[in-house]
Amino acid sequence: MMATVFWFIVCAALLAGAGTVLTRAADAIAEGSGLGRLFVGSLFLAGATSLPELSTDISAVMIGEPDLAVGDLFGSSIANMGILALLVFLTRGELLKRASAMHLVTGGLAIGLTLVAAGLVLSGTTFTVLGVSPGSLLLLALFVAGTRATYQRGTSQGEDAKVSAIAILQFVAATVVILLLAPVFASVATRLAELSGLGTTFVGTFLLGFTTSVPELASGIAAVRMRAYDLAIGNMLGSNSFNMAVFFALDVAHPSGSLFASLSAAHAATALIGVLLMAVAMGALYRRR
């Protein structure tokens, strides 16, 4: 038990370090490319920090633990809102006052995707096309469409945009570190589930969900220290959207039939808690309070 906890802590520390480097590189890319902090945070930074969810959850599905994987996705969305609340507290509300109103669009996308995912979990649909549920395809399509809308409204790229090669290398290196560590979390979380005697749904939601959000925590703190507030908020909300798009990858990796047919309906309740927290965040951002 102690050895498992030790590796749990070591991986979390390494992910925190990688998340900090990732944020500094992402900020340099946002400034140099003209893409802006909102878009870079919502897509590139969010995608990179969500790699633990992608890799870990695919591994969990392949070893026959789909509830662990989906619990992690919804649990991470809840954890990200907890991290956002922490960042608002650390900045004494400055984070909300200086953030772009475009985050209402990215937040709305995350809420919509989570509601669709919750509905699919409740439906328990067994229908598939070439082994993949149309529901997971819908989630992916909505994510792509929403990301495109964010790009069109939130960027200001010019002809003289230049991105530092060093920043790109740092971003890629930190991303690789996160990607390589992610599979370790699947085995560690599964082992903790066995040792604790708790169900995989509980562990996936509250334990693995928090741990795989460590990169978001580290990058969020690094972003507010740089006063890159749009980068921080974009990362949290973008990660929640990215998590729902991951359902497609999990469905493809699922060994037999539709992923949604093998899930506990209890995940829908976790999803609705995430939706509620995101709605509160959107209300606070709208009122700048």
pLDDT tens digits along 124-180: 888 888 778 899 999 999 999 988 887 776 565 555 567 778 989 999 999 998 888
pLDDT (0 to 100) of residue 2 = 79
CB neighbour class for 230 (10 Å; exposed up to 12, middle 13-18, buried from 19): buried
pLDDT band at residue 185 under the 50/70/90 scheme: low
Q: Provide φ and ψ at 129, rounded to 5°.
A: -125, 115
Average pLDDT of the chain to the nearest whole number: 84
* Domain range enclosing 147: 2-154+163-287
CATH code of the domain covering residue 209: 1.20.1420.30
- CA gap 236, 189 in Å, rounded: 23
Number of domains in the chain: 1
| Distances, alpha carbon 205 to alpha carbons 138, 178, 228, 252, 253, in Å | 24, 20, 29, 22, 20
Over residues 194-211, the mean pLDDT reads: 61
**pTM reported for the whole predicted model:** 0.83
- CA gap 66, 70 in Å, rounded: 6
Structure-token pair, residue 84:
């956002």
- Percent residues over pLDDT 70 in the chain: 87
What are 17-58's pLDDT values in tens digits? 888 899 999 999 988 887 888 889 888 999 888 887 788 788
Residues facing residue 129 across a β-bridge: 132
